[in-house]
Every structure is written in structure tokens, then in C-alpha cells.
Chains A and B, each alone.
Chain A
Amino acid sequence: MSSETKQILTTDGIPLEVSLKKAEKKNKIKAFLLVAPLLLFLFITYVFPIGEMFTRSVDDKMITNMLPKTFKAMEKWDGKELPPEDVFAGFYSDYKVLIENQTQGKLGQRLNKEKNGFNSITKKLMRQIKRNKIDESQSIKEQIMKVHKRWRDVEYWQAIKRTAPPYTMAKYLKGMDMYFAADGSIAQVDEDRRIHRILWLRTLEIALFVTIFCFLMGYPIAHLLATLPMKYSNLLMICVLLPFWTSLLVRTASWMILLQQQGVVNDFFVMIGLVADDSRPEMMYNKVGTYVAMTQILLPFMVLPLYSVMKTISPSLMRAGKSLGGTPFIAFWKVYFPLTIPGIGAGCLLVFILAIGYYITPALVGGASGTLISNQIAYHMKTTLDWSFASAMGLMLLSGVLVIYWIYNKLVGVDNIKLG
């Protein structure tokens, strides 16, 4: 039958189907071209640089490029006993090149990170070479071993071998307080030096509690705003929106004033007799300050999604619940609350995502016990200049955030985010 039906043609004589497909394709390209400038801009300036953070975080080419002959010779060495003559010879000629280029210091520092004690023995070897004490016609192995007893220790040669691959996961392990032990297995650092694990846990803990506080405080007022008549709720809405639009630093500054020892909150506590004047509690530069300030700063991000969901719930549903015999509490719990769950999900995920990457407020009011993982990243970017470690920690944080973002996208959909 299909062979008998005549194709419908447009006035140009082209089959309608083809013509429609063409138009559809044209529209697709048109729509894509509108998005293309921003997409391209973001890819070049933002998405690729984040990808580059990954290469930077695993990059370990420096030593690989510094000791090419050594590593070539080490390929045949099994790593159990002292390496053979050609490894020593390779190391000697590599090291001589480094001395000529005056970059031997970097090698010493880098190897010292792998195993303590390298700095002094490489320097000692350098002095011997500079004084031409090494006779190239004799066995180089014997001569290097005479420079210092550590050169006779196989563990130091194993350490050099470990630095051979151009890529390393060491920075990621360091971010979790682990490291590659001498035999190449993964080990934990000593208990009293596990600082990063504390920071990760603290970041999670603070983000979680700030989210809970924001929910507990945001739910009642969102409900009030959604049920009050328009003219009152618009007025009260200003209380939520004004902090939302005010500079983050201004809000942090006001908390610093309020929470300091001679500050308003402490004055108030003394006035109502809660604490004695000479034992004012420390509320800033610790976790209390971080909790209070972050809760106030992130609260609008909880209230706004909750409000926009609650606004759509008809009040007659609650009345119906009550008229069917429910007490107000049961009506609320069985009817109203389940309807607000999308808003709760949106608000909590948004606050949690923002809290987990917080930087400014913890740095100013957090003190030592209130700093978070972001502060550690900034510290390595600016102070220690260990950019590859900062990148590794950043990507670990990012992967966590992206998982939550993915859940958020599944539950709420990014195109459903509402602002103001």
C-alpha cells in the first residue's frame, strides 16, 4: 500500500518530509549557534583549565626529565640489591649535566621529599664533582659509594627508582594522609600528622550542620511567608532578600563585631546574667563563629526554594485534612510536609553545596579550629606554592560537589533553579 501512496510535495517539488527535516535541522543549528559563544568561552576559560588542574595534579615529569640516563639504566635493575655500575654511571652523567645547568638543587629538594637525607648527600656529591675528584676512567660506582655511606644504602636507590614514572597519584594520597611506602605499597601517615583527614571531616561536619540549622530556621519562616497575606509577606520578604543582596564581607564583618569578646552578643549575655563579665566566652575564631555566621549567610538560599514550593500548595488541602478528622499536627505531617519535600531537597542541596566550598567566612571568623578544606587549598596556592597539591585537593572537593550537583539535577533539575 505504501508504494501506492503518492509522496506529498512542497511547491518546489521537494518531498514534504525532506523539506521539514531540513527546516528542523536549520532551526537546530540556529539554536545551537546562539548558545555557541558562551559555550565556547566557558570551555576555553573554565572547563579546560579545570581539566588542566588534573594533569597538573598528577604531573611528575620533572625528575623523569632530569635523570633520563639513570632511569634508562634502572629498567634492567630489579631493585633488591645495590644497582649495577651502569646505573651509577648514568646517574653521574645526568647529575653532571644538572650541575652545568645549575638545576641540581631542585633535584635534591625533590628527592628529599621522597626520602629524607637526599639533600645533604647530593650536595656532597656535587662538591666532589666540582672539585674534579671523580675519575671517569675508574669505576664510578666505587667512587660515589665512597662519597657518603647513604649512597651505599639500597633504600636511597629504591627511592630514586620510585620517582621514575612521569605521573604520580602521590598528591591525592597526601590529601588523604597516605603515602607510598619504601616498598611501593600505600601506607598511612602517623596518627598525629593526619591533618587533612581532620579537615575533610570538619568540612563535611560543618556543611552538614549548617544545612540542618538552615533547614530548621528556614522552614518556619518560609511557611509564614507563604501563608501570610501578600502585603505582610512582601514586607517580611525584605528581611530575607536584603541579607541575600548584601556583600558577603559586610555580613562577615558584622558577625566579627557581634561575636568578639567585647561585642554586642557578649554584652547581652552579661546583661541578662548568663555569664560573668570577667568570663566572657570566646565565640569567634572557633567553630561557634563559623556555624553562626555561615548559617545566617546561607539561610536565604534555603528560604527562597522552600518559599517558591510552599507558595504553590493550596491552603484548602490543609483544611481538607483537618475536616477529615486530622488534628492540625497530623494534617501538617501527612498532607503539607510531603508536598514541601521538593523544596526541602532543593534548599538543602543548594546550602550544602555552597557550604562545602566556603572560604571567606571560615577564614575570617573560623580561626584555627574553624578552617575548612578550601582554606587549605588557598594556603597551598599562595603560601607553600605547591600548586599540584592544591589542584589535587581541589579536584577531590570538586568530585564530591559534582556528585551532589548530579543528584540535585536529577531531583530538581538545574533549569528549575529560581532566583529571588
Chain B
Amino acid sequence: MFNNVFSVMEKIKITIDKKEIEVAKGTTIYQAAKDNGIHIPTLCYLNLDHLKIENRPGGCRVCVVEVEGRKNLAPSCSTECTNGMVVKTHTVRVLNARKTVLELILSDHPKDCLICSSSGQCDLQKLSQTLGIREIHAVENAAVSTYRKDVSPALKRDMDKCIMCRRCETICNTVQTVGALSAINRGFMSVVAPAFEQDLIDSPCTFCGQCVAVCPTGALTPFDDTGRVIRALSDPTKTVIVQTAPAVRAALGEEFGMEPGTLVTGKMVAALRTLGFDKVFDTDFAADLTIMEEGTELLGRISKFLEGDKNVKLPILTSCCPAWVNFFENNYQDMLDVPSTARSPQQMFGSIAKNYYTQLLGIKREDLVVVSVMPCLAKKYECQREEFKTNGNPDVDFSISTRELASLIKAANIDFNALEDDDYDSPLGESTGAAVIFGATGGVIEAAVRTAYELFTKKKLEKIDFTELRGLEGIRTASIDFNGTMINIGIAHQLGNARKLLDGIRAGLYNFHAIEIMACPGGCIGGAGQPLHHGNSDVIKARFDAIYREDAGKKIRKSHENPYIVKLYEEYLGHPLSEKAHHLLHTHYFEKNKN
């Protein structure tokens, strides 16, 4: 009776480029080739297998191959293998077809590659080089689109460069369920845009930037803040400090030719110092602070709940991710009191820097410039929110992405690979392993559990690693034994998965005590400000493993044991959730109604 369970998936035999291979029935030609080291080019197809994200419109026709016995060429991304199939991926006919398709795309594409912000990263550019396109036969009477450029605080849209691969649409609608983007108009005028072609800032866009992360051209790009940072660095009247998010150190090396998953913490600090930052600090310090505030808030709510308080809101939701905050402000107005009020680590750092660190230095907040290096584009939007400004002066002045930091390093003639490792400055540069894992999905809640367990049970943790909370599945759940009290935890990454959890909570289906949500696939390591993965999710997996390696190598791995955090509370804040902490480290949420 268990035949179905134990029967092996049916295998079939095919030949690709004279290579005989065996594949599971249902495999596409594209996938079969890829699994056997044959990389068929494509512009629209996208498959992040670790994350179960797929875009398969079969629209670009670049991946066509010749199949023996079939009249026309077959799009390999959407043609399933059949037994005995003989496939050729690089015949003259195939190559000519690919070139024609590409020329047609290029005939309606701006040719400003020299100054395009995606130059060097652009899949379209790379492919025209690979196929050796040296001439574009213009299509007569082709309408030339001169689409209005849309510049938001986080990302830019230049739809003249859109090739209608629809990857961004799949990400925005199917993966993130944000629904900001759709294909509009037809023919030459068709592009991907928000409803009524309004600006992103007026649309339900959360600025997660995942559309940018998958765009094969320069149509969707990040807002570039590097110029402002360079100006601040060369202003002698300003003290300029920098904070680096946990996920940056696990990816920055890729921009300098290193293997994905190479940790470059020491080199990154050295590079930032060479760039001229007066102090190099770590967002991880603020992540430890977040755990103190959020963890205490969690314990407070759980204790009240266990005492039978009916008004207590559970589960508590993490609030570190700015795209997630934008998402629930727009979609769950009835639940604005459920997420933790703790600010994100970026903003906690900014607040402590502008209020506490300026006191230590004896300077005015206007004379301190706080720059953050983030794996994220939504952080650019977050640091400009009005509630994070005092008299118009923001707590975090500029937020740049991992890729922007790489370009700053390159522009400053720094040989990154040859740099000697350097250490963060004190006091805002000291952190624990708990803070490092903020960069991966499940990390924030694991960090919170490490601290909450010890505060709740008054016992020392025997085992620091909560492997049951780790992984790349979109939704994960676990129950942790707090000395007899079971604490139920939910974890979601990607906003579509968050929506599933939130809808369940709204309907009263779950009994979670705490939930962690991150907008990007894999958490911050898969953020839109990170080096581009070009459709290869092994890259994200490698960064994921690197984050936990960095944690395992740390001497202190629990936030409440960070001696500088302890000192900050003693000298300045008092205790977690004190009035001062509330004022400086917590926020409130706003009802938004964008659609």
C-alpha cells in the first residue's frame, strides 16, 4: 500500500549535445542541461531552486534549442524532456535564432551601456557579447519609448530599458504578494509599471527591491547614495561614522572575485577606514540592543499572557525589516499593535549615535554624519522616515548598499584583496554571535531565544545553537522548551509567506508566541543591495552558511552578555523598555492605504 511513497521517480533518457543523460520525468530541457553543466542562455527564465522561486513566461525565446524530429525550435525553459529526445543547444540554426531574437530586443533598447548603472552587471549586455552581436539592424518605424523615469528614495525605474522578461512582476506579485507592478500597455509601448503609471512612492511598493535583484538589465536599479557619502567624507567640519549590517560581511567579497560565502569582516573594516570614515562601527552592536528591547518586550507579553491577561497581543512580530514594516502598514492596518515597537538595528544605531555618542564626543548632532552599509534597499527609505529625524536631522544620514560600498572601494583605488584584517572601533563596534545571525532568516528569533531563555528561566543555556530554527524553507515553525513552558515560534521569509502567516493570525488559526519575518529570500543575506546572484541560489545558500560560521567563531554569542551593551544600560539607558529606551529605541506604526 506504500507503493506511491516508495516508488522511485520515473527516469527517462535523453541526449543533449551528444551527452547521454538520465533525468526525472517532468524535467525541462533547460534544467536537464543545467544539471549537467550545459548553461543555455536565457533572459526571462529564473529559477532560485533553494527558495522555490520560478519565473517561466517563455517569452524571451533566447533559450531555444533544436530537438531532433521537431520542426520548429523549442524553448528549453518550458519544454519537458521526453524519452529518447535528442537535443542540440548550439547548432548554426540555434545560434542564428538566438542572435535574431537578441537583435530584435536590442533594436528597441537604449545603447548607453557606457554610462548605464547596470553596465558590467547586465545580463543583456553580457549575452550580446557572448553571442558576438556587432551590429543591430534597426526595425523600421519602431516606436521609440521615452518613458518617464521614476526615482524613489530606494530604487529607480527606467522603463526604456525594460525587455519584458516579467521577472520583477513574478517577484512582486507571486513571491512577495505586494502587487505594485504589472505589465501595462501593448506592443512597443508595453512596460512593467504600477497602476495608472503612478510613481513607486505612491504605489503599495515596500521597497524590498527584489525586483532590482532579478532585473536582467538597467530598467530597475537602486538609488545611488555614494556621491553624498563622498561629499560628507571630504567635509572637514563633519565627523563621519559608519555602521555595517551583519549580512554585508558575508557577501562583499563576491564583488572582488571571492567565492560566495567568503567572510570579509576584517578587510571590510580596513577598507572603510582607508575610505576615511572617522570610526568604523557595527550594526551588530545595535542588533544586540534590539534583542534586549525586543526580547524584554516578548517576555513581558508572554508573562502577562501566562498570568491570564486577555488584552495582551500575541504573537509578537519582529520589526527589524523595513520592507516588512512597509508591508504591514499597508496591508494589516487592523494589526498595527501586534509587531514589536522596537526600531530596526539600523535606526537604533543611528539614535544611539546621534544622542549618546555625540555626548561622548561633545559634538552637535548636525556635525555627526551616520552612514550605514546595508544589504538592503528599503533601508534607504527607512532612514528618511520623518519619525527618525530630530529637527529635520536624520538619525541615519545615508544608507548605502553592499554593491555601493564595493564601488566606493573600487573608486578609491583600494586593493581590497590585499588588505590586512582590521578590527571595529569601540564602543559601538562590539557585538556577539547572536547579532551576526540577524543576517539570515531565523537568526533574529534565535538570538531572541538565546537571551529570552536565560532571562525567563534564570538558567544558563546548555546548547546555544537552535538548529530547529534554521533553514531556507519559506515558513518554519518550532516549539522551544523554556523549562516546562513551551514557546511556539514561527518564521517566514519573503512577504508572500509572511502574508500566509498574518492571514492565519488574523483568522485566529495559530497559537504562536513569537514570529520572525524578513522580506527578502533567505533574509538579509538575499537582500536587494547585495551582489547580484544572477539567478543562482547557491550564492544565497553559501552566504547563509557563512553567517552561522561567523557566529560559531564569536567568543560571546548571547546579546545580554555583550559588555558594552551592559555598560550602555548602566550609564545611559537604565534598563530595557525604560522611558529613555522607549524614546530612543522604539517607534510606532502608521496606517497607510496605498493601492
Asked whether A and B interact, the reply is no
A binding-site residues for B, Cβ under 8 Å? none
